[in-house]
Amino acid sequence: MSAKVITHPEKIESLLTRRVAEVVVEEHLRQRLMSGKKLRIKLGVDPTAPDLHLGHAVALKKLREFQELGHQVVLIIGDYTTRVGDPSGKSKTRPMLSAEQIEANAKTYLDQAGKILDLSKIEVRRNGEWFSKMDFNDVIMLAAKFTVARMIERDDFAKRLREGTDIHLHEIMYPMMQAYDSIMVEADVEIGGTDQKFNILAGRDLQRKMDKPEQDAMFLGPTLVGTDGVNKMSKSLGNYIGISEAPEQMYGKAMSIPDAVMWDYFKLTTDVPMQEVAEMKTACERGEMNPRDAKARLAREIIILYHSAAEADAAEDGFRRLFQKKELPSQYVIALTVVGGERSLIEILVETKLAASKSEARRLIEQGGVKVDGQVVKDPVAKLTVGSKKILIQKGKRHFTSITGKSFIQK
């Protein structure tokens, strides 16, 4: 017997508003949710990398809300769309991955998605199920449902055309493929970020042209920026918080985000009631609460979701001892003064004798063996601004060096 669909008005209102930027068409979806009919909720994911971060988790948390109301979640692993590469927001063509890379990434995606979703109740599909069976005539017939003019209306394509940057034919096919996924799984609702608006609306268009009921579209937002407070969270930019990272890494990264974006993090990545978030924000603005304390609450909430309260306590205690009480393990700490200014992390590691050579420094960084102020840095071209403020560099578990700048390099 299938689970009963829950039509509680307050739960539906929360579903339609929290972490949501726009719904097409909202009133239609509200009526369907209130009807008690079990809906099929589609999310497509392209396993372009092996790990999930908090940006990915925003959509998975919304799926969980649908799941808790008794609806059927359909998670599409884009083993074929990944070969094309989603052009959304991209200024150049994505590199193609091998089938082996895609499958390995998909496995870790599903394992990590289990931290948020009840995997026993979701329907997992790979779009290779249908795309691998299509012949060239099938592709032509599907392509006939779309126009080139409509495709190049996309902001990213239009921008690339203006700049004279190549747009490859297979990229234009991506929205068509995502739209066809909706046909094959009979989607009632598709969710995605605001950057997916063109692709998801293409699904509605194709369903209408093929005389199928049009899916409602839920666009999540605002877009979660990374720990740099500027760019969309991305592993390639190194500004991410991974949902499988160790609690102390999560805590340190969460404490590093700019105060201005902290409130979006509360909305998008935690389950703290929005009224409570609003009260904290007001208290900070009035000077009644230190933003650092609000950020510590954020860090705890994130760790509790993906680990446990006990591990959140331990991470918080470790952070306070290391960075607030300055209780560094003094037997391992070496205080050095180096040439100040904007410096390469690789150069700093060699200069402080934490690495014997630049090649060793690069290897340490790429293997995740270096932390700067408690955060793992894996970018070998990372730079530090060295001045009067102490910077703590850690190699492995036992080697700590505190550096300050003695003079500044003129740019």
Question: Reading across the β-sheet that carries 40-45, which strands appear in turn?
Answer: 20-24, 216-220, 189-193, 40-45, 72-77, 123-126
d(CA 312, CA 318): 10
245: its two tokens: 């990272």
Strand-pair category, 370-372 with 375-376:
antiparallel
The residue written with tokens 């199920």 in the block is 129
Main-chain dihedrals φ then ψ at residue 91, nearest 5 degrees: -95, 0
| Helices (runs of H) and strands (runs of E) counted in the chain | 19, 12
d(CA 390, CA 402): 6
Instruction: Determine the angle formed by the axes of helices 9-17 and 54-68, rounding to 10 degrees.
Output: 160
- Domains, the chain, in order of start with CATH, read 9-220 (3.40.50.620), 247-324 (1.10.240.10), 330-408 (3.10.290.10)
Main-chain dihedrals φ then ψ at residue 248, nearest 5 degrees: -65, -30
85: its two tokens: 């590469």
Confidence at residue 83, expressed as pLDDT on a 0 to 100 scale: 81
Nearest residue to 48 (alpha-carbon basis) of 90, 106, 9: 106
Q: What residue spans of 36-185 are helical by DSSP H? A: 54-68, 81-84, 99-113, 128-131, 136-143, 148-151, 155-163, 169-172, 174-185
Each residue's pLDDT, cut to its tens digit, for the chain (411 residues) gives 456 899 999 999 999 999 999 999 999 999 999 999 999 999 998 887 777 899 999 999 999 999 999 999 999 999 898 888 766 655 555 566 778 888 888 888 888 899 999 999 999 999 999 999 999 999 999 999 999 888 888 888 888 888 888 888 888 899 999 999 999 999 999 999 998 999 999 999 999 999 999 999 999 999 999 988 988 898 767 788 999 988 988 998 898 899 999 999 999 999 999 999 999 999 999 999 999 999 999 999 999 999 999 999 998 988 887 766 655 544 335 677 888 888 999 999 988 878 878 988 998 999 888 989 888 999 999 999 888 888 888 887 657 788 888 754 333
Main-chain dihedrals φ then ψ at residue 260, nearest 5 degrees: -60, -30
235: its two tokens: 């592993």
Q: Is 258 in a helix, a strand, or coil?
A: coil
How buried is 280 (Cβ within 10 angstroms: 0-12 exposed, 13-18 middle, 19+ buried)? buried
CA 53 to centroid of chain Cα atoms = 4
d(CA 23, CA 26): 5
Q: Is 20 in a helix, a strand, or coil?
A: strand
Nearest residue to 199 (alpha-carbon basis) of 25, 30, 44: 44
Hey, CA dihedral for 293, 297, 300, 306, is it positive or negative?
Answer: negative
The C-alpha angle 282, 324, 321, rounded to 5 degrees, equals 125
Q: Are 50 and 111 in contact (CB under 8 A)?
A: no
Cis peptide upstream of residue 222 (ω within 30 degrees of 0): yes
The residue written with tokens 């902290």 in the block is 262
Adjacent-strand bridge partners of 20: 220
303: its two tokens: 């760790």
d(CA 52, CA 171): 24
219: its two tokens: 């666009």
